[in-house]
């Protein structure tokens, strides 16, 4: 039974981020003076045409402690149409009309963890040795198995032996069965595709951990390839098993290829995404010309990801020309970094995406590395970070021309007809609803309204950015001074107690004379 239950992976996902946690923006620490100009690399179409149903309209939180209901409620409130699947989502009414990605699908198909302190039956041992990577013939189980991430006190993650076609067929078959089961349970919750966190063609392997070290990050063994144990990119076949792929990298890509082929039978428009820490170093460079040619000769090129999210912070996802040369233009890359909590660097990250027609998203987690606290719930994340993360994607979904997305380095201000990001405030026009989401960041800040619009109501919000109460009506009823003022085409902050609080403005078309004024 495939569970796709992420609770056991929380410690692993936190540990998986330590490999490059100190990365800064290209060119030094902190935010760049300006985002990468469009002329320095190929930009997407001048007038993008995206629908809300685009697969990049993606909300990928799945390792947090949130309930499924909260994750789906937040995704819907922010206008997202695609989520990462978690066990049981199909049972909720909020899933209706949504599409789901399976994250790191192989980990949900079979056993992932091996407890080195547990006694397993012989049938269990035989099954593990037959389906997972073996690196020694002269050591007893479990010490003959390759391992990866360590979870205290005695558990390590296993890696499936994709050099065996039988393993590929088994895992893909299990996944297809499970996906069909989800759709059968909720026909209005549709399969979109697969996505992976920090994938490596050669596998994710580590040396034995240091269990006595309390810090789970420092307790992890050093990252290695199979060559460390076997002298080559290959495992050792267990007795009675055969390898149909010469290298582990070939087998891993063959697995991706078959997943795409079988996934397309469920959804002909199936998509595959991944989140390397660095796009070029973490994925593109690892697909060597020799490896690509081998896969081409086998007729297996379906391993190519449709989209890459950059987990590391910085503007490399739009600045590194090698990414474009590797086949990914700016419309097919985005920032999903959880490393930033300060306004300056988050502003730079989002402006880099927005001015270049790229994308932003939450993926897996919302903090725990860089200077970002380990937010365990969406409700804990400051409203400003939520909105900074939303605006670049909203700009694309609003089909705002890239040429109208302007960055003023001197004022540190981004403006377009449908959004503003700066040190004074951040706001964006919701791509689905006639609403404007707003967070004031400084005293006496004011935000302009989208052209041709006027305000019907101003709402305070909860931790999921959902409307709670009409502020102006509440202030009048409480007989207190107004905390915001709407005048002409602007809304102004009058009370500091609303700084960093999320607001939602319900809009309507302004009368013609008022709009012209």
Write out pLDDT tens, residues 364-410.
999 999 999 999 999 999 999 999 999 999 999 999 999 999 999 99
Q: What DSSP state is assigned to residue 330?
A: G
Between the CA atoms of 97, 98, 99 and 103, what dihedral angle is there, to the nearest 10 degrees?
Answer: -160
What pLDDT, on the 0 to 100 scale, is given for residue 390?
99
Three-state SS letters, 475-488: HHHHCCCCCEEEEC
| pLDDT tens-place string over residues 347-357 | 999 999 999 99
Partnered with residue 82 across adjacent β-strands are 58, 99
Q: What is the spatial distance between Cα 492 and Cα 136, in angstroms, rounded to a whole number?
A: 68
Same domain, 292 and 366: yes
The helix (H) or strand (E) run that includes residue 460 is strand 453-461
Between the CA atoms of 480, 485, 491 and 496, what dihedral angle is there, to the nearest 10 degrees?
Answer: -40
Mean pLDDT of 186-208: 97
Whether residue 349 is contained in a domain is answered as yes
Burial 160-196 (b: 16+ CB within 10 A, else e): bbbbbbebbeebbebbbebbeebbeebeebbbbbbbb
Q: What DSSP state is assigned to residue 111?
A: -
Same domain, 478 and 403: no
Whether residue 12 is contained in a domain is answered as yes
Whether residue 450 is contained in a domain is answered as yes
Q: What percent of the chain has pLDDT over 70?
A: 90
Same domain, 171 and 269: yes
Same domain, 450 and 392: no
Same domain, 187 and 326: yes
Same domain, 322 and 470: no
Whether residue 468 is contained in a domain is answered as yes
Same domain, 197 and 296: yes
| pLDDT tens-place string over residues 432-485 | 999 999 999 999 899 999 999 999 999 999 999 999 999 999 999 999 999 999
The helix (H) or strand (E) run that includes residue 446 is strand 446-448
pLDDT at 253 over 80: yes
Whether residue 231 is contained in a domain is answered as no
Same domain, 395 and 441: no
Same domain, 484 and 399: no
Collapsing DSSP to helix, strand or coil, 261 comes out as helix
Q: How many folded domains does the chain comprise? A: 2
| pLDDT tens-place string over residues 415-426 | 999 999 999 999
Beta-carbon contacts of 184 under 8 Å, excluding residues fewer than 6 positions away, are none
Supply the CATH number for residue 396's domain.
Answer: 3.20.20
Q: What DSSP state is assigned to residue 237?
A: P
- Residue located via tokens 């990914």: 328
**CB contact at 8 A, 270 and 260:** yes
Phi, psi of 69 (to 5 degrees): -65, -45
Same domain, 437 and 406: no
Q: What is the spatial distance between Cα 200 and Cα 239, in angstroms, rounded to a whole number?
A: 26
Whether residue 301 is contained in a domain is answered as yes
**CB contact at 8 A, 125 and 108:** no
Whether residue 162 is contained in a domain is answered as no
Same domain, 307 and 375: yes
Same domain, 465 and 503: yes
Q: Give me the domain span that covers residue 439.
A: 433-517
Whether residue 420 is contained in a domain is answered as no
| pLDDT tens-place string over residues 301-326 | 999 999 999 999 999 999 999 999 99
């Amino acid at each position: 039974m495939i569970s796709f239950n992420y609770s056991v992976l929380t410690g692993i996902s936190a540990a998986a981020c330590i490999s490059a946690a100190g990365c800064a923006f290209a060119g030094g620490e902190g935010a760049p003076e300006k985002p990468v100009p469009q002329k320095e690399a190929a930009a997407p179409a001048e007038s993008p045409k995206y629908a809300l149903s685009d697969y990049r309209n993606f909300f990928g939180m799945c390792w947090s402690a949130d309930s499924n209901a909260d994750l789906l409620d937040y995704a819907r409130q922010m206008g997202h149409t695609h989520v990462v699947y978690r066990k049981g989502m199909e049972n909720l009414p909020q899933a209706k009309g949504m599409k789901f990605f399976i994250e790191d699908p192989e980990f949900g198909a079979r056993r992932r963890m091996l407890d080195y302190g547990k006694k397993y039956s012989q049938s269990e041992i035989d099954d593990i040795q037959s389906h997972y990577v073996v690196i020694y013939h002269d050591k007893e189980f479990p010490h003959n198995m390759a391992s990866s991430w360590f979870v205290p006190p005695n558990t390590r993650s296993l890696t499936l032996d994709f050099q065996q076609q039988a393993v590929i067929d088994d895992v893909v078959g299990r996944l297809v069965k499970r996906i069909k089961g989800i759709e059968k349970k909720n026909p209005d919750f549709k399969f979109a595709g697969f996505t992976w966190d920090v994938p490596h063609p050669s596998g994710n392997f580590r040396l034995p951990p240091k269990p006595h070290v309390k810090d789970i990050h420092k307790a992890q063994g050093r990252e290695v390839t199979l060559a460390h144990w076997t002298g080559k990119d290959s495992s050792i076949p267990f007795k009675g098993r055969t390898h149909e792929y010469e290298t582990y990298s070939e087998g891993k890509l063959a697995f991706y290829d078959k997943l795409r082929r079988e996934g397309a039978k469920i959804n002909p428009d199936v998509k595959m995404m991944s989140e390397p820490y660095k796009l070029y170093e973490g994925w593109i460079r690892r697909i060597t010309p020799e490896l690509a040619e081998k896969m081409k000769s086998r007729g297996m090129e379906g391993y190519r990801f449709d989209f890459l999210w950059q987990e590391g912070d910085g503007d490399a996802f739009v600045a590194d020309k090698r990414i474009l040369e590797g086949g990914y233009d700016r419309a097919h890359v985005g920032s999903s970094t959880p490393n930033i909590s300060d306004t300056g660097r988050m502003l730079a990250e989002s402006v880099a995406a927005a001015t270049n027609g790229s994308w932003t998203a939450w993926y897996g987690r919302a903090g725990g590395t860089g200077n970002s606290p380990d937010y365990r719930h969406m409700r804990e994340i400051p409203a400003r970070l939520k909105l900074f993360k939303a605006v670049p994607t909203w700009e694309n979904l609003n089909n705002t021309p890239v040429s109208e997305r302007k960055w003023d380095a001197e004022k540190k201000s981004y403006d377009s007809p449908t959004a503003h990001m700066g040190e004074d405030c951040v706001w964006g026009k919701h791509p689905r609803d006639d609403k404007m989401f707003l967070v004031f960041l400084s005293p006496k800040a004011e935000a302009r309204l989208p052209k041709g619009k006027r305000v019907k109501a101003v709402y305070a919000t909860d931790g999921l950015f959902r409307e709670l109460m009409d502020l102006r009506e509440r202030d009048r009823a409480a007989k207190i001074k107004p905390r915001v003022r709407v005048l002409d085409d602007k809304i102004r902050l009058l009370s500091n107690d609303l700084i960093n609080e999320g607001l939602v403005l319900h809009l309507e078309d302004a009368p013609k004379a008022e709009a012209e004024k």
